[in-house]
Structure 1
Amino acid sequence: MKTILLLFLLNNKTIAIELNSHTIGRENSAISIEIFSSFTCPYCAKLHLNILPDLIKKYTDTGRAKITLKDFPLDLAALNASKIEKCIPVKNKLKFHDTIYLQQSEWASGSSIEEINQKLKKISSDLGISNEIFNSCLNDPKNEEFVLQTRIEAQKKFNINATPTIVINNKNITEIIQSLLFLNI
């Protein structure tokens, strides 16, 4: 897993943020589940809110698998949410995902990217992210490059053309998962 370290100067203090994808479970688990999603994708919200908790309970809590949540933003709003997610402390990342997906229709439907960013700032603030860190994360080109590079690499490696996409031990099982989501299971 590639990690990039961002350093921000805030009130004359250096703040370090590691850029990586959020992993749940033991790093050395036999099963590796990667979930590629876009924060503005309604089916990604459905997967995250309705299926992910069961996957965590059945597979990561039992030590059978690790789940890595990977960014695959489909639009500028999702890209900005992904950039902000990188600055959320690990202990609050799942809460950020939950909130973003629960409030998806509210924050992602702004009339401009500025309005969307203000809504993202409010969500981030509620999770303890200062305005300074929010603005730094949103505007840092290395942060954006990391998110977009994750997307490009996934697209090439796994032939991803839609979200959500689930990859288990490097095998894309999108068709199976999308069938389950479309069937409302």
Structure 2
Amino acid sequence: MPMALKLTTATLALIAGFGLFAANAQTTTETPATTEAAAVQIQDYGIGALDAKVQIVEYASFTCPHCANFHADVYPKLKADYIDTGKVRLEYHEVYFDRYGLWAGMIARCGGEMRYIGITDMLYDTQSEWAASDDPKVVVENLKKIGRTAGMDDASMDACLKDEATANALVAHFEENFTKDGIEGTPTFLINGEKHANMTYEDLKAIIDAELAK
């Protein structure tokens, strides 16, 4: 994946709400995006014991094929061997390379922490289906189908997707962390603070076991 593109305030309204709140643009342009973003607190969600000896931060995009492959091939083993046994905590840091990825993140977060992990799993498992269309309306409907499966209603999802302040805050949060941690592609992992690129389960296991042995 290339370095993340800087998303301007002018395009964020379109990205977040795909034109649904464009009619309100005249009233929202007076409020700087940085002010809106500062007013919204973004929480990064994760799975596993908070006090696990090995803390992994995963930088990934919901539209990144390599990220989907990691979640199909490596994540189930990681979860069974280390997360479910209390040895590892995995925290998700979303990366937005495109508007579809941002919309997916907004749907995943729409149900709060309780639904986030389940929706994240569905987004990666069905990435080749929901993200396949060039028609934004089709992609939105595909994402809402995933949300419905997770128990959310259309009104709640529409409200989340039209939340410009949260969209601005999500992008600002992503760009700040992406730059701070020197991320250059996805997926990238910080394992107890040390940066690693995408890897096989065997390589990941070796790193985790070395950390556990310390």
Q: Distance in 1 between matches of 2:54 and 2:43?
A: 19
Instruction: Answer with 57-66 or 114-123: which moved more.
Output: 57-66
TM-score by length of 1: 0.79
The residue correspondences of 1:65-144 to structure 2 (distance < 5 A) are 65-144=88-167
- Report if the CA contact (8 A) 1:37-1:164 is conserved: yes
Q: Distance in 2 between matches of 1:58 and 1:47?
A: 15
Per the alignment, in what secondary structure is the counterpart of residue 173 of structure 1?
strand
Q: Distance in 2 between matches of 1:50 and 1:150?
A: 28
1:40 match: 63
Q: Deviations over 1:88-119 (max 9, x none)?
A: 24343332122212221121122222221111
Question: Compared with structure 1, are the counterparts of its residues 171 and 142 closer, same or farther at alpha carbon in structure 2 (3 Å cutoff)?
Answer: farther
Sequence identity (%): 28
Tell me the CA shift for residue 154 of structure 1: 2.3
Per the alignment, in what secondary structure is the counterpart of residue 74 of structure 2?
helix
Per the alignment, in what secondary structure is the counterpart of residue 58 of structure 2?
strand
> Which of structures 1 and 2 has the bigger CA Rg?
2
The residue correspondences of 1:23-34 to structure 2 (distance < 5 A) are 23-34=46-57
Consecutive unaligned residues of structure 2, counting only runs of 5 or more, are 1-40, 202-214
Per the alignment, in what secondary structure is the counterpart of residue 49 of structure 2?
coil
The residue correspondences of 1:140-151 to structure 2 (distance < 5 A) are 140-151=163-174
- Report if the CA contact (8 A) 1:158-1:171 is conserved: no
Tell me the CA shift for residue 19 of structure 1: 4.5
Instruction: Answer with 86-95 or 149-158: which moved more.
Output: 86-95
Tell me the CA shift for residue 41 of structure 1: 0.7
TM-score by length of 2: 0.69
- Report if the CA contact (8 A) 1:25-1:65 is conserved: yes
Higher strand content, 1 or 2: 1
Count of residues paired in the alignment: 161
Q: Deviations over 1:59-109 (max 9, x none)?
A: 222222211011012111011000111112434333212221222112112
Question: RMSD over aligned Cα, in angstroms?
Answer: 1.9
Question: Compared with structure 1, are the counterparts of its residues 145 and 42 closer, same or farther at alpha carbon in structure 2 (3 Å cutoff)?
Answer: same
Q: Distance in 1 between matches of 2:109 and 2:177?
A: 18
Superposed structure 1 runs of 4+ greater than 6 Å apart = none
Identify the structure with bigger relative contact order (alpha carbons < 8 Å, sequence gap 6+). 2
2:16 match: none
Q: Deviations over 1:26-49 (max 9, x none)?
A: 212222101111111111001112
Per the alignment, in what secondary structure is the counterpart of residue 91 of structure 2?
strand
Higher helix content, 1 or 2: 2
